[in-house]
Amino acid sequence: MKKYNTTLTIAGSDSGGGAGIQADLKTFSACGCYGMSVITAITAQNTQGVSDIYPVQISTIDKQLDAVLSDIGADAVKIGMLHSSEVINLVAEKIKEYNIKNLVIDPVMAATSGDKLLQDEAIAALKNELLPLAAIITPNIPEASILLGREIHSQLDLPEVAKQLSFNQNVSVLLKAGHLTEDELVDVFYDAEKEEIIRLPSHRIKTLNTHGTGCTLSSAIAAHLSKGKNLQTAVKQGKEYIDQAIKAGRDYQIGHGHGPVHHFHNWWN
């Protein structure tokens, strides 16, 4: 019998379909994996912003995690919006209980629209309990600033910032440069396994359709890890996938704000 490469997302639901669980499952499928989900919160959300967040009760998140991991398992896990310290602590316990190795964490704190998606008191739990368990974390500039407690202003700062976020060289870091102002973006990947800095340049794509880019990139990395790729290959292929998804989606219009990327650009246009 054939075996699927299984990839699990633990994140919030985006009713607009561009980010969160919906973007993750689209990405897993587009990258050739069997996707599963544990929903941590339901958002009322579209291209213009988040109008409501309804947290899923802890016991239901707990049962979702056990249902998936005890039966199907997961070759890789991607974590996105967790919202509260209570949820973060539960997920950290389950990651350890089921001995998850290929763990990709996108430390989601705000939507593209700027709406807050993580409670302030949960940041300490995220830093202390969950992030140290990751194989790789994928913060953007604002998220890295919050985690470090200081502003980041220059592309030149990124290699040192990535090292500082690596929990004493135990966690690899893909630090995304999209919030800087240069036309030439250089994401910085710190490979903790090899203690190596890799610069990943790309040209800024002029488009409003950037909703869910962080979710999509981290999910693509998780998908490639679940297929047995090493971390450097998974990061490079994940970057290539999101770049092409942004390019393919720039000519579409959905809604009146920040539209999504084109997750299935390799399949239809």
What tokens does 199 get? 């610069």
- The yes-or-no answer on residue 212 being catalytic is yes
Of 6, 7, 213, 216, catalytic: 213
- The yes-or-no answer on residue 32 being catalytic is no
- The yes-or-no answer on residue 31 being catalytic is no
Contacts of 54 (CB under 8 A, 6+ apart): 41, 42, 43, 44
Of the candidates 157, 91, 235, the residue with the CA atom closest to the CA atom of residue 165? 157
Of 9, 138, 210, 216, catalytic: 210
Of 26, 176, 229, 239, catalytic: 176
- DSSP 3-state assignment of 155? helix
- The yes-or-no answer on residue 255 being catalytic is no
Q: What is the rounded distance in angstroms from the CA atom of residue 86 to the CA atom of residue 125?
A: 9
Of 16, 17, 35, 212, catalytic: 212
> How many Cβ atoms are within 10 Å of 136's Cβ, its own excluded?
27
- The yes-or-no answer on residue 215 being catalytic is yes
Angle between helices 58-71 and 85-97 (to 10 degrees): 20
Q: What is the rounded distance in angstroms from the CA atom of residue 65 to the CA atom of residue 40?
A: 10
Of 20, 80, 94, 215, catalytic: 215
Of 16, 20, 214, 259, catalytic: 214
- The yes-or-no answer on residue 33 being catalytic is no
Distance of CA 27 to the CA centre of its chain: 11
The residue assigned the tokens 């994140």 is 11
Q: What is the rounded distance in angstroms from the CA atom of residue 11 to the CA atom of residue 41?
A: 7
What tokens does 109 get? 């704190």
Q: What is the rounded distance in angstroms from the CA atom of residue 202 to the CA atom of residue 204?
A: 7
Sign, Cα dihedral of 179, 114, 88, 99:
negative
CB-based burial label for 201 (10 Å; 0-12, 13-18, 19+): exposed
Q: Could you list the active site residues?
A: 176, 210, 212-215
